[in-house]
Copies of this chain bind each other. A is one copy, B any other.
């Protein structure tokens, strides 16, 4: 197997990006694309000169397809994961696995014993800056980790339609930060405290019972402390910072700018342009690296880099966060 032949299921904004990455990646070939809305599939099909299939089963039945990337709506993820596994095709599935933790747990049970690689789409783990932070921690550069601080703010409110179905800020947005926290802490958080509010648009609270601004504190069994803060609207661009503070030092994976032009005049110095606007620009390398990781799992039998269980545990943290918001207590994480 020279190049991994991958089919993309779900051709929305993220699916299109994945399709393009697979087309570009030197170790993958884009086999075909599918979307329940065939227009979406055809658009990317034309752009990349690749087949679009009408029936998703064509993908699972096709022996010339080695693997599947799932970026369809969240409520279809479990089905497509299970179908991929049944067809013995490694699958890279976008987060979250599902908004319903019970369904995720049931799927988890059903998949016990499965050996087909399932990689979850937590792209941020593959960001060069965040990876260098983790690498530095593993190297002992900062000694024992004491505090992990994750600042994660989106550049603007998503549409009301999106918010209505997104599953809530903790499950939809913070889920990435929960995964980042687990990745950096190197051990499971055992307790969580969270507050949330709708400070940007109060209707998000009054009408959707959701939030746009939140803060979290988590603790691990060994006492490591982790803070997460989220906002849906950072006017200055997508704000993505990870700080690891330890007994011997600190590392900060800071924001990226579109270029390094600095401006100076009588009012200011070192003024720069807003940060890269959102995840597709900011995590461009990360998304490509996640494909590389998927390929290495398939071709070199490396262990899965982000497992189904990683996806499940991030969701468990989100559930515990909701519980804490309600109870006002430092909740145990099961």
Contacts and interface: CB of A to CB of B under 8 A. Distances in A.
A203 to B, nearest CB: 14
A246 B193 CA distance: 23
Nearest to A243: B151
Contact of A264 (B200, B250, B258): B250
Given A195-B225, A236-B250, A261 B136 contact: yes
A195 B217 contact: yes
Q: Most chain-B CB neighbours within 10 Å: which of A225, A268, A269, A329?
A: A269
A158 interface: no
Q: Most chain-B CB neighbours within 10 Å: which of A151, A153, A237, A250?
A: A250
A301 interface: no
Contacts of A303: none
Interface in A233-258: 233-237, 239, 245, 247-258
17 contacts: A26-B47, A141-B263, A197-B225, A199-B223, A214-B225, A235-B265, A236-B265, A249-B263, A251-B262, A251-B263, A251-B264, A253-B260, A256-B259, A268-B272, A270-B272, A271-B271, A271-B272
Interface string A178-196: 0000000000000101010
A128 to B, nearest CB: 4
Contact of A261 (B47, B133, B239, B261): B133
- Nearest 10 A/B pairs, CB to CB: A249-B265, A129-B259, A236-B264, A328-B330, A254-B260, A271-B271, A128-B259, A132-B261, A250-B264, A235-B266
Interface residues of A, number: 73
Q: Count copies of this chain in the complex.
A: 4
Contacts of A223: 197, 199, 213
A322 interface: no
A243 to B, nearest CB: 8
A197 B224 CA distance: 9
Contact of A245 (B153, B260, B270): B153
Contact of A24 (B24, B133, B248): B24
A101 interface: no
B269 A237 contact: yes
A132 B261 CA distance: 7
